[in-house]
Copies of this chain bind each other. A is one copy, B any other.
Amino acid sequence: MAHDAALVARLLDEARSLVLGEIRRAIADRRRTGYAPLYDQLEVYPFREGKGLRPAILLSACRSVGGWTEQAIVSATAVELFHNAFLVHDDIEDGSELRRGLVTLPEQFGVPSAVNVGDATNVLAIAMLLDNLEVLGVRKALLTIREIERMARESVEGQAIELEWIRLRHYDLSDDDYARMAHKKTCWYTVIAPLRLGVIAGSVPGVGAPTDTELEPLIGVGFLAGIAFQIQDDLLNLVGDPGVYGKEAAGDLWEGKRTVMLNHFIRGASAPVRDRALAVLNTERRDKDAAEVSWLHAAMHEAGSIEHGRRLANEYCERALEAYAQMNVFTVDGTDRRFLQEMLTYVIDRIK
């Protein structure tokens, strides 16, 4: 499948620079009134070039229900900050080495500071949500906080599922097991919440603000697109160009992450191959043998596991497009509505 790359790139760019401006302002303010060195560490991830996907979805969703950019900027900035907080803690949890092409925060400043920087990023995002009172009024600002609570709850539960798989050495996971985990870990904070928060921000104010029933269909589309996004993320880790993608090549195998591709490989492996793979995966990262990781990587290719991941991502993408076509939430025709549709394909076309 192909998407309108120019359109998507333009809206991602716009959203990113808008939100980075807000983050820059907020951090400058904190640096003046608080302990400045903390904010030097806090700004590291946000100002490494991210995709800007979450704020872009949020802003376009807002404008596609008739809202203005101004109504959504604070929410978009908060979501981007929550995302960055998530990345900092995720890099500790996974023991990752690279993020957006440079060493991870725990590598740069140590795990103790990184834990605290992640917490500080969450606090800054919560401060933003309080600023929303002036922008959106009480009802929508509270709806927004509720939505963020749900998003954060789903994310920590998804993380817990994935961490328990690794900690307790669970294998034999189906594609549906994976989808259930990623629904919580990725879909909520990457697609579902940005869509819903955009609609909350942009919809008619007062008693016309959206209800649970109106926001409901966004969960389905966001789920399907989010799974496609996460499988593509895991594919890029295995086959992408690390220089473009920004994480270490095959880092997921070093971390023992249960991706759709790995699960497919383990399910289909003969007993001796399975044993050899599990020996690699169960070894602590620092004790792993690079040659064995390369073997596993090659064996997954040969077993058609990469192909299986591509096929599954495509399926989810097509289902997302179908579900999107049946929605009637986004009433304003134009660039933003086109972006939201193109984004559903972009998630599996992207190379970073």
Interface string of A111-138 (1 = CB under 8 A from B): 1110111111011101100100100001
Cα distance A163–B106 in the bound complex, in angstroms? 13
Contact B120 A37 (CB under 8 A): no
- A92-B111, A149-B127, A167-B110 known; A161 vs B116 contact (CB < 8 Å): no
The answer, yes or no, to whether A38 is at the interface (CB within 8 Å) is yes
Stretch with Cβ within 8 A of B (4 or more), from A46-54, A151-159, A314-322, A330-338: A151-159
Q: How far is the CA of A291 from the CA of B153 in the complex (A)?
A: 46
Interface residues on A, range: 35 or more
Name the distance in Å between A200's Cβ and chain B's nearest Cβ.
15
B146 with A130: CB separation less than 8 A: yes
Contact assessment for B92 and A38 in the assembled complex, using a CB-CB cutoff below 8 Å:
no
Q: Mark A143-186, 1 if CB is under 8 A from B, else 0.
A: 00110010011001111110110110000000000000000100
Given contacts A89-B116, A153-B123, contact A35 B145 (CB under 8 A): no
User: In angstroms, how far is the closest chain B Cβ from the Cβ of A307?
Assistant: 31
Contact A116 B146 (CB under 8 A): no
**Chain B neighbourhood of A43, CB < 8 A:** none
Inter-chain contacts of A126 with B (CB < 8 A): 126, 145, 149, 152
| A37 to B156 Cα, complex, angstroms | 12
Contact flags A64-98 to B (C-beta < 8 A → 1, else 0) = 00000000000000000000000001001111000
Q: Which residues of B contact A34 (CB under 8 A)?
A: 153, 157
Pick the contact of A156: B92, B119, B160 (CB < 8 A).
B119
Q: Nearest B residue to A119 by beta-carbon distance?
A: B156
- How many chain copies? 2
Which of B89, B110, B124, B161 touches A115 (beta carbons < 8 Å)? B89
A185 to chain B, nearest CB (A): 10
Q: How far is the CB of A281 from chain B (nearest CB, A)?
A: 15
Least CB distance from A187 to B in Å reads 15
**Set of chain B residues within 8 Å of A159, measured between Cβ atoms:** 116, 119
Do A94 and B112 contact each other (CB < 8 Å), given the known contacts A126-B152, A145-B130, A161-B35? yes
Chain B residue nearest to A89 (CB atoms) is B115
B123 touches A35 (CB 8 A): no
Q: Is the pair A160, B89 in contact by a Cβ cutoff of 8 Å?
A: no
For A146, list chain B residues within 8 Å (CB).
Answer: 130
Looking across the interface, which residue of chain B has its beta carbon closest to that of A157? B35
User: In the complex, what distance in Å separates the CA atom of A109 from the CA atom of B117?
Assistant: 22
Cα A126 to Cα B38 in complex, Å, equals 23
- Contact present for A156 and B112 (CB under 8 Å): no
Instruction: Name the residue of chain B whose CB is nearest to the CB of A128.
Output: B149
Q: Scan residues 23-75 of chain A and give those whose CB is less than 8 A from a CB of chain B.
A: 34-35, 37-38, 41
Counting CB contacts under 8 A, is A142 at the interface? yes
> With the chains together, A164 CA to B120 CA distance in Å?
15
- Residues on B with C-beta less than 8 A from A95 are 112
A89-B119 contact in complex given A145-B130, A149-B130, C-beta closer than 8 Å = yes
Give, as a whole number of angstroms, the nearest-CB distance from A269 to chain B.
26
B156→A120 contact, CB < 8 A: yes
Q: How far is the CA of A163 from the CA of B138 in the complex (A)?
A: 38
Can you report 20 residue pairs joining A to B where beta carbons are below 8 Å apart? A34-B153, A35-B160, A35-B161, A38-B160, A92-B115, A93-B111, A93-B115, A94-B112, A113-B163, A115-B115, A116-B160, A118-B119, A119-B159, A120-B156, A122-B122, A123-B156, A124-B153, A126-B152, A127-B149, A130-B146
